[in-house]
């Protein structure tokens, strides 16, 4: 409980600045961020955790290439991917048609056009 040689701090609890909101809080209200590089207050930590939970899901699903199947709508030609084992009835997300075909050969086209 002895001072750490910080002459600016007297009897008060030292305050640390939150890297996120710049608010000054005491050390027990600070937490390391996920990457362990920043100290942020509990408020921000909660906010970030919530935001991560919300944003990480769509980001992941669009980036994982394995266990995804490519489909092509034979009605409008729209290409899309669905997760393997998706229980939802297959439909073209563009025109709603159920005339969907496995799109095996045009994977290269998609890669080229992106």
Interface residues with Zn ion (CB under 5 A) are: 18, 20-21, 41, 44, 73, 75-76, 78, 92, 94-95, 97
Longest dimension (CA), the chain: 75
Beta bridge partners of 16: 25
Instruction: Closer to Zn ion by CB, 68 or 90: give it.
Output: 90
Instruction: Closer to Zn ion by CB, 19 or 68: give it.
Output: 19
Instruction: Closer to Zn ion by CB, 24 or 61: give it.
Output: 24
Instruction: Closer to Zn ion by CB, 18 or 103: give it.
Output: 18
SS3 3: coil
Closest separation in Å from C-beta 5 to Zn ion: 27
Closest separation in Å from C-beta 93 to Zn ion: 8
Cα distance between residue 103 and residue 78, in whole Å: 10
Closest separation in Å from C-beta 60 to Zn ion: 26
Cα distance between residue 93 and residue 87, in whole Å: 15
**Cα angle 78-79-82, degrees, rounded to a multiple of 5:** 125
Measured from the Cβ of residue 41, the count of other Cβ atoms closer than 10 Å reads 22
Closest separation in Å from C-beta 90 to Zn ion: 11
């Amino acid at each position: 409980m002895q001072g750490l040689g910080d002459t600016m701090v007297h009897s008060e609890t030292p305050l640390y600045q939150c890297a996120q909101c710049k608010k000054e809080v005491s050390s027990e209200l600070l937490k390391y961020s996920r990457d362990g590089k920043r100290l942020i207050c509990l408020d921000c930590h909660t906010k970030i955790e919530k935001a991560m939970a919300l944003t990480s899901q769509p980001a992941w699903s669009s980036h994982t290439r394995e266990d995804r199947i490519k489909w092509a709508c034979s009605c409008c030609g729209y290409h899309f991917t669905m997760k393997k084992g998706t229980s939802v009835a297959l439909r073209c997300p563009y025109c709603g048609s159920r005339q969907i075909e496995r799109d095996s050969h045009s994977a290269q086209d998609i890669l080229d056009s992106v």
